[in-house]
Amino acid sequence: MNSSEEIAVSGMSAGRSAMRMGPAELVQAAAMARRFYLEGKSKIQIAEEFGVSRFKVARVLETALERDLVRIEIRVPAELDAERSDALRARYGLRHAVVVESPAEAEETPDPENLGEVAADLLGELVDEGDVLGLAWGRSTIHMAAALDRLPPCTVVQLTGVYDAGTSERGSVEAVRRAAQVSGGDAHPIYAPMLLPDAATAAALRNQTGIARAFEYFDKVTVACVSIGSWEPGISTVHDMLSDEERAHYASLGVAAEMAAHLFDADGRRIGRDLGERCITVKADQLRRIPEVVAIAGGQRKASAIDAVLRSGLVTSLVTDTSAADYLMTAGPTPKPTLGRADPDGI
């Protein structure tokens, strides 16, 4: 039985409606419920034990629920919002959606640190021995790596170059090394900037031995962890690395979000593809082929950007907070299922 579910089976102490059952019926119903809910026996096994049909067992179990003989409570840790999580997963056709309670004092803060902690636990579930784990730059992925305490043996590769703005928010290489240390696997960091001045410089760097070796793993990645940025200062890595003129150019194309140095408009279409030629990053079509792409992003300021990236079909799972989730549940028309992962039109 899942530890998050508590099943209480009572007998003669059931509610008044249950007392309409005779004592023999009550005892039998309680016994069947205990076998089914607590001991994990099948209806066929219970039927054989009590000498009745499995249809009779099904009716007894249904009656036990209706008459409050059996009470089922679903419990998850207080910081997880199971209802929002399930609704968000269904709306975007995600494989997994985990919604964390937003800290009351940090509603405007993008990517609260607790998202990284929950994402670390999620990766512990998703990564299997022998997998290749890819990490793209982002504050949330750095927080996630710092919180990791369990990973099966796997190879860890960096999916983007580094962002060095002279701040304490660096750590792509450290995140890769941390994940590899926890898993006991090999690390393949990338010691190069994410954005270069021109395409020729970027191409030359991609051919350098260490970087080329990391790039060879991109098509082998089985689980990826990425961040999402809004197109505004301090919340988008790419935005902060560009000149004012370049920002204005991509804004004129309708950029609403970025992920792993790829730009998206509000409908999830990729735009500004020329920028990719200057970037050290995993390609969008490579991301699309990765079986599990987990995005970590939250906060009201990132909510519309999260919606845009989810509509792209590149992401299969999301870790976010209630602040962003409430926006996402009412954002525009219902998206096409993400798990179809069709390539959106772009510029």
DSSP state of 345: P
What is the spatial distance between Cα 179 and Cα 183, in angstroms, rounded to a whole number? Answer: 6
CATH topology assigned to domain 23-67: Arc Repressor Mutant, subunit A (1.10.10)
Closest CA to 282 of 123, 120, 135, 130: 135
80-330: CATH class: alpha beta
Q: What pLDDT sits at residue 333?
A: 76
Q: What is the mean pLDDT of residues 62-78?
A: 75
Closest CA to 63 of 103, 106, 33: 33
Q: What is the mean pLDDT of residues 333-339?
A: 64
Q: What is the mean pLDDT of residues 158-179?
A: 75
Asked if the model's pLDDT at residue 108 lies above 90, the reply is: no
Q: What pLDDT sits at residue 9?
A: 52
- Within the chain, which residue ranges are assigned CATH 1.10.10? 23-67
Q: What pLDDT sits at residue 278?
A: 92
Q: What is the pLDDT of residues 271-286, one digit of tens each?
A: 988 888 999 999 999 9
What is the spatial distance between Cα 287 and Cα 134, in angstroms, rounded to a whole number? Answer: 10
DSSP state of 110: S
The phi and psi torsions of 3 (rounded to 5 degrees) equal -65, -15
- Within the chain, which residue ranges are assigned CATH 3.40.50.1360? 80-330
Contact 85, 97 (CB under 8 A): yes
Question: Strands 262-264, 270-271: parallel, antiparallel or unpaired by DSSP?
Answer: antiparallel
Q: What is the mean pLDDT of residues 38-58?
A: 92
Asked if the model's pLDDT at residue 42 lies above 70, the reply is: yes
Q: Output the six-digit token pair for 115.
A: 């998202």
Helical H runs in 234-338? 237-241, 244-252, 284-289, 303-312, 322-328
What is the spatial distance between Cα 303 and Cα 229, in angstroms, rounded to a whole number? Answer: 10
The phi and psi torsions of 194 (rounded to 5 degrees) equal -70, -40
Q: What is the mean pLDDT of residues 231-250?
A: 85
| Identity of the residue numbered 133 | L
Q: What is the pLDDT of residues 201-215, one digit of tens each?
A: 999 999 999 899 999
